[in-house]
Amino acid sequence: MHDEEGADARPIDARILAVYDELTASERRLASVVMEERNSLSSFTAGELAARANISNATAARFFRRLGYNSYNDAKLHARQGRDWGSPLYELTGIGKKRLAPGDFGLHIAQDLQNLTQTAEMLSEESLEAAARILVGARRIWVVGFRNSMVLASYARGLLIHIKDDVQLLPLAGMSMGEELASVRPDDALLVFGFRRRPVILREVMAVVREIGAPSVLIADMTAARTAQLATVTLRCHNRGHSLFDSYVAPMSVINYLCSMVGQSLGEPAIERLGQIERLHERLDPLVVPGQGKRSPKE
């Protein structure tokens, strides 16, 4: 996205995501620091950011030039836009004022396909297997998500409850987190969904669970920084949307794959639970007869 004079008008978050796959390990550390502090960059010097990322000042200078800025001071002048990236209000009324036009549905699908491809290229089998091992070995799984992430958490819980006998969704409607977190044990596991925008309470929940000694799996977008530092395993997904809203196609696919891995790893216990669930379906819904469709309530 460029303004009328040809200058790059994208916020710093979008610039980082556009080149993230090309960044070195040290540059990615700085990217995490910048994305976490994007709303208060003006309070930091370039040297302070470099120190927090444990990199040299020269590396930091190259990083900001890679993003298309003339200098770090130039980046600070544009950083305010980053507060709104990912907001439907920004996407609808911000720079560019997007208008959906004929053919945009194809572009919408193309963006989803790109998100899936980039996520697949980025996630390693080792990290997926590590996440699956945590969930398989847990006495109880606590699934947590706020805002849009709550939908993803509900989907994950709906899959896991088919194969594990103790999967809890947080937060429960009308309840505070304290009562639930008091029940977490070191042999439990936390499955966290941390997509923008993440409330402060999410980090506190993860910090409490970490202090208890239970491992956690975080599924998040590319901007997660401090939350990722609290997780045992982090699975990042590309989720940039073509128009107003972020896309959750990639995280939904990762959830499906991860839960399938857990079921396969559990083996016979998962099969037995699925069988029990099917028998209960037949008992609780007498109108359904396997292989025969519906039958009359009088029969």
In the chain, where are the structural domains located? 12-98, 116-266
Classify domain 116-266 by CATH architecture. 3-Layer(aba) Sandwich (3.40)
- Is the peptide bond preceding residue 197 cis, with omega within 30 degrees of 0? yes
CATH number (3.30.960, 1.10.10, 2.60.40, 1.20.1510) of 12-98 reads 1.10.10
pLDDT below 70 — which residues of the chain?
Answer: 1-10, 39, 79-103, 174-175, 286-299
Query: What is the pLDDT at residue 13?
Result: 73
Q: Please, are residues 209 and 177 in contact by the beta-carbon 8 Å criterion? A: no
Model confidence over 33-88: pLDDT tens digits?
887 777 677 778 888 889 988 999 999 999 999 988 888 888 887 765 444 445 55
d(Cα 298, Cα 292) in Å, to the nearest integer?
Answer: 16
Crossing angle, helix 268-284 and helix 249-266, to 10 degrees?
A: 110
What is the pLDDT, as a whole number, of residue 220?
92
3-class SS of residue 234: strand
* Residue in 33, 43, 36 with CA at minimum distance from that of residue 203: 36
Other beta carbons within 10 angstroms of residue 71's beta carbon come to: 12
CB 187 within 8 A of CB 139: yes
The predicted model scores a pTM of 0.72
Q: What does the pLDDT read at residue 179?
A: 81
Contact by Cβ (8 Å): 244, 163: no
Spell out the residues 6+ positions from residue 248 whose beta carbon is closer than 8 angstroms to its own.
148, 151, 152, 195, 239
Q: Cα separation of 179 and 55, whole Å? A: 42
Query: Which residues in the chain belong to E strands, given as ranges?
Result: 141-145, 167-170, 189-194, 216-220, 233-236, 288-289, 293-294
- So what's the pLDDT on residue 282? 85
Q: Which pLDDT score is estimated for 158? A: 95
**Contact between residue 11 and residue 78 where contact means Cβ atoms under 8 Å apart:** yes
- CA angle 242-247-251, nearest 5°? 150
